[in-house]
Structure 1
Amino acid sequence: MKIQLKACTALDAEELYAFELKNRTYFEKSIPSRGDDYYMPEMFKQRHASLLQEQRDGTSFFYLIKDEGGEIIGRINLVDRDVTTKRAELGYRIGQNHTGKGIAKEAVQLLIEQCRKLDIKEIQAKTTDGNIASQKILTGNGFQQESKAVEVELNGQRMRLIQFKRTMLD
């Protein structure tokens, strides 16, 4: 499947909200819930506006993963960009109906190219120890595991996270 990354805009809020709502149960099987407030339309709009401000400030970059027809099938982000160390944190999620098709792997590849344009030299990522598919996507895109799984609490849920890092070569 051919995909494209499109920078998220204010015009995407409604479609993105529908995507998140449709996939909520699926996403919450592998990551902590964002909480009920996140899925309230007004709260979602406020949070979306806040994220877009981060994008304008250059501290985060939010992309929609779209199929050839322009439908949102996932999202991929670079957050907590540090211009001094030239680092950013990667995050992504693929809608339930689109997993297992190589979309996340391709999206990460496309985002790595964006990192070169944004002068990001190191990309960090975390995944749960049970998310083998995500671990394969990261290692398949040149990420190295940084440490053993560390037990953490996220949104009231205990889980084990593995840290990965990819250093960009010029």
Structure 2
Amino acid sequence: MQTIHLSAPSLVDAEALLAFELANRAFFETHINARPAHYYSLDGVRAAIAQAQQEAAADQAYQHLVRDEAGTLVGRVNLSRVRRAHYHSAELGYRIAQSACGQGYASAAVRLALARAFGELQLLRVEAIARPGNIGSLRVLAHNGFRLFGRSSRSFQLHGEWHDLEHYERHAED
């Protein structure tokens, strides 16, 4: 099990976050759609950090940087689309540097994000989606107690090709 810590992004993280995103851009874009080109600049990352801070202050989303024991940025884990009234839920997302994949960072980061979601944030349900062929992501979800509750057909387009998605959930009492 990897020892990591999560922190909310701040402007002092801008250069490290830009370096992380640039170093992993091609890898990430094999799994998810590309960010807008203007994101990949210091001003773009600073604007994204400011937006993340505003969303956290408004209880809409919580972004976290994942750092290893040495303080190296190895990933991100987010709780987005926070819905309070009648739902008390959020959506989970994560990305780990290509060089850090397969080392337990994603599972550890999700475990810590869930602890925050169900503890401090008092959410009752966290949802996640994954493509059926994304074995690494499916393992992360399984290791963290997520259960499959549905599948949507041809619901995600990546590089002009449509993909099915599997929908997972985890409840606070699980």
Specify if TM > 0.5: yes
Matched residue, 1:75: 76
Deviation, 1:156, is 6.4
TM-score of the aligned structures, taking structure 1 as reference length: 0.92
Q: Deviations over 1:116-144 (max 9, x none)?
A: 22101100011112111101110221111
Give the ranges of 4+ consecutive aligned residues of structure 1 lying more than 3 Å apart after TM superposition.
153-157
Deviation, 1:10, is 2.2
Q: Could you tell me how far apart the structure 1 residues matched to 2:30 and 2:141 are?
A: 20
Matched residue, 2:133: 130
Q: Could you tell me how far apart the structure 2 residues matched to 1:5 and 1:137 are?
A: 17
Matched residue, 2:150: 147
1:40 aligns with 2:41: yes
More deviation, 67-76/47-56: 47-56
Matched residue, 1:162: 166
Matched residue, 1:120: 123
Report the residue type matching 2:66 in the other structure: I
Contact 2:151 2:164 in 1 (8 A): no
CA RMSD of aligned residues (A): 1.7
Deviation, 1:45, is 2.2
- Identity, in percent, stands at 34
Q: Could you tell me how far apart the structure 2 residues matched to 1:21 and 1:161 are?
A: 27
Matched residue, 1:106: 108
Report the residue type matching 1:105 in the other structure: S
Q: Could you tell me how far apart the structure 1 residues matched to 2:157 and 2:38 are?
A: 16
Q: Could you tell me how far apart the structure 2 residues matched to 1:130 and 1:35 are?
A: 25
Matched residue, 1:4: 5
Q: Deviations over 1:4-49 (max 9, x none)?
A: 1112222212211110111001111111212323213323322221
Contact 1:10 1:52 in 2 (8 A): no
Contact 1:91 1:125 in 2 (8 A): yes
SS in 1 for 2:133: coil
Matched residue, 1:55: 56
Q: Could you tell me how far apart the structure 1 residues matched to 2:42 and 2:158 are?
A: 20
- Classify 1:45/1:151 alpha carbon distance in 2 versus 1 (closer, same or farther; 3 Å): same
Contact 2:17 2:45 in 1 (8 A): no
SS in 2 for 1:129: coil
More deviation, 34-43/87-96: 34-43
Q: Could you tell me how far apart the structure 1 residues matched to 2:153 and 2:50 are?
A: 32
TM-score of the aligned structures, taking structure 2 as reference length: 0.90
SS in 1 for 2:151: coil
Matched residue, 1:13: 14
